[in-house]
Amino acid sequence: MESVCYNPIGIVETPFAEREGMPIQAAGGEGVRGRINLKPEYVEGLKDLDGFSHLILIYHFHLTQERHLVVTPFLDDTPRGVFATRSPNHPNTIGISTVRLLAIKGNCLEIEDVDMVSGTPLLDIKPYVPAFDHREPERLGWLEKAGAKVRKTRADKRFT
């Protein structure tokens, strides 16, 4: 297979200067505001985005240095396969978050419910559309017992 290379379309700014202590998922960042500074050459692509209340952000975990196929997730003490987690230590360090869009001002998008470190390179923006994106799960694997803790759990130093 050939390698794939992406160029960031902007930077996400948040109140979190480091991973430790920040929310581990957007649900835990409820009410936390941030902003996206989009590169000027992509502003035209924001046309009609202001009609959506939520966005799916796809970004690069730029602080992640290690990759592991087995990790111990924040919500559990048991080592799990990395693909059964949302750990930043995946082979490709790509993150996703669903955030609330508050406003668009030029190349700046004001957002809420953030769970990213400030300075995170943004790869893409997609509108969140419940008819496309929402699915009622039939099973949640190991997270059935741990998922309720997501709103209060904060990151520690376990992922580098």
Residue 158, pLDDT above cutoff 90: no
pTM listed for this prediction: 0.85
Tokens 């949640």 map to which residue? 140
Task: Report yes or no: 60 and 120 within 8 Å, Cβ to Cβ.
Answer: yes
Residue 107, pLDDT above cutoff 80: yes
- The domains of the chain, with CATH numbers, are 10-151 (2.40.30.70)
Give the pLDDT score at 103: 98
Residue 106, pLDDT above cutoff 90: yes
Give the pLDDT score at 26: 74
Give the pLDDT score at 151: 63
pLDDT band at 64 (very low <50, low <70, confident <90, very high): confident
Tokens encoding 61: 């975990």
Residue 54, pLDDT above cutoff 80: yes
- DSSP bridge partners of 55: 99, 127
Rg, C-alpha atoms of the chain: 16
